[in-house]
């Protein structure tokens, strides 16, 4: 082991790395929010009796869950590019992550919804609640408890997968790291620091998520 | 008064209620007995407007339950219902279970709702479980919670669908005691039950359901101990 570590150059470039980390968080949060909205629609479509809607949803879910994320990102960036639709690296990665998040979360939401027995609905109706009240107070809160952890995991997954942005020249944490190490040749140092930053980010997300769960679910989880 | 008048009800091609008529007066306890699939639960669901009917009429205090203009959510406030499978809301404490509907349906203040809920929970013997989550309780306790939750809406009628038949045998007694207490206090009840002793001792009248019709109805002790219809006789000799 003759490698000599030189950390100085890494610390000098800290502002750029932090900026990259911010972009990583930014794209993951956005991919999660959009993914959730689309997944709600797809889950409803999938449970819908209209064949067309449920088939569209099924195709989406199957492709998203059974092809590599790398492929999705390439399709968004190079694939659409071939048709003259040129997305920026950021938008390409964002679209791919939204596509995959929506696919996985659709199944999470559908499973969560179907795991609530229909008798919970009749019980709340029998107390005089309207349908909206039954969903608001009885069905959705129970569903949220069941999908909360899978959603957190999906978010962490998004953060880590956004590192594939490196392949299309996106300036998130990995892309920034790649660029800085190639300028300075301190490959190991930069990638070690980047790995630590990913670790800290995901740990913070998990910690925040469990704090929030404790507040939302009053120690029930 | 609940008045069921010549009600027919089908699920697809299957006619489940084939002309059922039954009047239940205020303060009266009527037990409904009968074989599996004879339509007992369906009758309760029709009274509570959870299931629509095909023909006939059901009046609750002279309001036509199934008329288009009837506000069914409002009507259900009068009709407490308890199901075979205790449907406690698992994400809420015992107290929250019982206080929710008074608060959001009757728009009571939080304090008022909690007070009523506490009172009804003490009523069924759950006064020491207020902050417990229902999943931590036995089936019998959860079923008593379901009863208290319905009572907290101050219903005029209680519809009980085999509330003891999913319970372990040793837990049946505590729930029947609670129902007995309600009957003594003058609550109007329709109880679908497989507990013949309960039907005989607690109810005023017993109706025997057979394949979607009331094959026999009469004074409770008489129907249970001295049934007139051969079908009732056969049913009772089997369940004993
Ligand atoms: N939602 C439904 N859709 C289709 N058929 C139904 C439905 N609910 C009940 N049935 C059928 O209607 C018939 C009567 O059912 P019901 O539940 O009223 O019987 P029950 O007398 O309560 O029987 P049990 O003692 O088993 O509870 C049964 O044949 C049942 O399969
Ligand atoms: Mg039944």
Are B89 and A145 a contacting pair at CB < 8 A? no
> Quick one: tokens of B220?
């409770």
DSSP state of B136: G
What one-character DSSP code corresponds to residue A27? H
* Whether the Cβ atoms of residue B54 and residue B46 lie closer than 8 Å to each other: no
Per-residue pLDDT at A12: 92
C-alpha gyration radius of chain A: 21
CATH, residue B172: 3.40.50.300
Distance A153 CA to ligand 2 centre (A): 42
Ligand 1 centre distance from Cα of residue B33 (Å)? 14
Whose tokens are 């502002």? That residue is A15
**Contact in structure between B232 and B238 (CB atoms under 8 Å):** no
In tens digits, chain A (221 residues) has pLDDT values of 678 888 888 899 999 999 999 999 999 999 999 999 999 999 999 988 889 999 999 999 999 999 999 999 999 999 998 899 999 999 999 999 999 999 999 999 999 999 999 999 999 999 999 999 999 999 999 999 999 999 999 999 999 999 999 999 999 999 999 999 999 889 999 999 999 999 999 999 999 999 999 888 874 43
Interface A:B, Cβ pairs < 8 A: 60
Q: Tokens for B198?
A: 């309960």
Per-residue pLDDT in tens (0 to 9) along chain B, 240 residues:
999 999 999 999 999 999 999 999 999 999 999 999 999 999 999 999 999 999 999 999 999 999 999 999 999 999 999 998 889 999 999 999 999 999 999 999 999 999 999 999 999 999 999 999 999 999 999 999 999 999 999 999 999 999 998 888 888 999 999 999 999 999 999 999 999 999 999 999 999 999 999 999 999 999 999 999 999 999 999 886
> Do residues A175 and A169 touch, judged by C-beta distance below 8 A?
yes
Cα(A95)–Cα(A64) distance, integer angstroms: 12
- Give the separation between CA A120 and CA B90, rounded to whole angstroms: 10
B11 Cβ partners below 8 Å, 6+ apart? none
State how far the Cα of A132 lies from the Cα of B231, in Å rounded to an integer: 45
Structure confidence at residue A216 (pLDDT): 86
* Contact yes or no for B205/B28 (Cβ under 8 A): yes
Q: For residues B9 and B51, is the Cβ–Cβ distance under 8 A? A: yes
Taking CA atoms only, the protein residue closest to ligand 1 atom 2 is B11
In a 3-state reduction of DSSP, which class is residue A141?
Answer: helix
Query: For residue range A147-197, what is the model confidence (pLDDT) as tens digits?
Result: 999 999 999 999 999 999 999 999 999 999 999 999 988 999 999 999 999
- Main-chain dihedrals φ then ψ at residue B226, nearest 5 degrees: -140, 60
Largest CA distance in chain B: 55
- Note the pLDDT of residue A219: 45
Looking at residue A217, its pLDDT comes to 85
- Cα A13-A17-A18 angle, rounded to 5 deg: 115
Contact A127, B104 (CB under 8 A): no
d(CA B204, CA B218): 9
Check residue B150 and give left, alpha or beta (phi > 0: left; psi -120 to 50: alpha): alpha
Cα A108–Cα A111–Cα A112 angle in degrees, nearest 5 = 80
Tokens of A9: 């150059």
Mutate to test the pocket of ligand 1, among B9, B10, B37 (most ligand atoms within 8 A of CB): B37
Residue with tokens 């004074």: B219
Token pair listed for A70: 């790398």
> B74: distance to nearest CA of chain A, Å?
6
ipTM here:
0.89
Does an H or E element contain B210, and which?
strand B205-210
* Boundaries of domain holding B192: 2-239
Tell me which chain B residue has its CA closest to the CA of residue A130: B73
CA distances (Å), origin A124, targets B73, B97, B162, B182: 10, 10, 18, 22
Check pocket membership of B193 for ligand 1, CB cut-off 6 A: no
What residue ranges define each of the domains in chain A, with the CATH number in brackets?
11-217 (1.10.3720.10)
- Look at residue B239 in the predicted model and tell me its pLDDT: 83
Biggest CA-to-CA distance, chain A? 76
Say what the pLDDT of residue B51 is: 94
- Ligand closest to the CA atom of residue B239: 1
Ligand 1 neighbour B102 (Cβ under 6 A): no
B83 reaches A (C-beta below 8 A):
yes
Q: Is the CB of B89 inside 8 Å of chain A's CB atoms?
A: yes
Please tell me the predicted confidence (pLDDT) of residue A40: 94
User: Which pLDDT belongs to residue A1?
Assistant: 65
Q: Is the CB of B36 under 6 A from ligand 1?
A: yes
**Quick check: A180 and A16 in contact, CB under 8 A?**
yes
The residue of chain A with its CA nearest to that of B136 is A220
Instruction: Give the whole-angstrom CA distance, residue B114 versus residue B100.
Output: 9
A113, A46 Cβ separation under 8 angstroms: no
Cα–Cα distance measured from residue B134 to residue B152, given in angstroms and rounded to the nearest whole number:
17
Domain count for chain B:
1
Q: What distance in Å separates the CA atoms of residue B44 and residue B50, rounded to the nearest whole number?
A: 9
Centre a 10 Å sphere on the Cβ of residue A119 and count the other Cβ atoms it contains: 14
Across the interface, do A127 and B105 touch by the CB < 8 Å criterion? Answer: yes
CB contact under 8 A, A128 and B101: yes
Q: Is B231 on the interface with A (CB under 8 A)?
A: no
Centre of ligand 2 to C-alpha B211, Å, is 13
Question: What pLDDT is recorded for position A218?
Answer: 73
Please state, as a whole number, how many other Cβ atoms lie within 10 Å of the Cβ of residue B210: 18
CA distances from B35 to B32, B67, B144, B181, B211 (A): 10, 30, 25, 27, 8
Pick the atom of ligand 1 nearest to B38's CA: 21
């Amino acid at each position: 082991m003759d490698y000599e570590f030189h950390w100085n150059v890494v610390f000098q470039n800290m502002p750029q790395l932090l900026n990259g980390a911010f972009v990583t968080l930014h794209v993951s949060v956005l991919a999660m929010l959009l993914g959730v909205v689309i997944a709600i629609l797809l889950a409803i479509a999938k449970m819908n009796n209209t064949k067309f809607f449920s088939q569209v949803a099924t195709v989406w879910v199957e492709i998203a869950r059974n092809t590599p994320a790398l492929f999705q990102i390439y399709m968004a960036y190079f694939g659409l590019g071939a048709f003259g639709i040129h997305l920026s690296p950021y938008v390409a990665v964002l679209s791919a992550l939204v596509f995959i998040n929506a696919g996985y979360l659709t199944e999470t939401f559908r499973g969560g919804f179907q795991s609530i027995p229909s008798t919970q609905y009749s019980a709340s109706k029998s107390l005089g609640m309207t349908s909206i009240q039954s969903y608001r107070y009885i069905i959705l809160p129970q569903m949220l408890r069941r999908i909360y952890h899978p959603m957190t995991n999906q978010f962490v997954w998004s953060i880590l997968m956004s590192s594939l942005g490196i392949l299309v020249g996106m300036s998130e944490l990995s892309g920034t790291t790649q660029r800085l190490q190639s300028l300075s040749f301190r490959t190991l140092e930069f990638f070690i620091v980047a790995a630590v930053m990913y670790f800290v980010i995901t740990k913070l997300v998990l910690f925040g998520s469990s704090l929030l769960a404790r507040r939302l679910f009053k120690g029930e989880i | 008064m609940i008045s069921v008048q010549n009600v027919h009800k089908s699920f697809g091609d299957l006619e489940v209620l084939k002309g059922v008529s039954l009047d239940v007066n205020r303060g009266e306890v009527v037990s409904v007995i009968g074989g599996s699939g004879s339509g007992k639960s369906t009758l309760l669901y029709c009274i509570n407007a959870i299931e629509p009917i095909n023909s006939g009429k059901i009046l609750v205090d002279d309001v036509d339950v199934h008329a288009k203009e009837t506000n069914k959510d409002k009507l259900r406030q009068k009709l407490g219902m308890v199901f075979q499978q205790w449907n406690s809301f698992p994400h809420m404490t015992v107290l929250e279970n019982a206080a929710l509907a008074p608060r959001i349906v009757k728009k009571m203040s939080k304090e008022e709702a909690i007070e009523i809920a506490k009172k009804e929970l003490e009523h069924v013997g759950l006064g020491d479980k207020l902050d417990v989550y229902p999943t931590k309780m036995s089936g019998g306790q959860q079923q008593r919670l379901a009863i208290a939750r319905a009572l907290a809406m101050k219903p005029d009628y209680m519809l009980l669908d085999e509330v003891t038949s999913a319970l372990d045998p040793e837990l049946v007694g505590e729930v029947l005691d609670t129902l007995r207490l309600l009957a003594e206090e003058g609550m109007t009840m329709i109880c679908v039950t497989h507990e013949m002793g309960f039907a005989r001792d607690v109810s005023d009248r017993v109706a025997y359901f057979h394949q979607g019709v009331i094959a026999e109805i009469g004074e409770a002790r008489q129907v249970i101990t001295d049934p007139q219809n051969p079908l009732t006789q056969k049913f009772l000799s089997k369940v004993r």
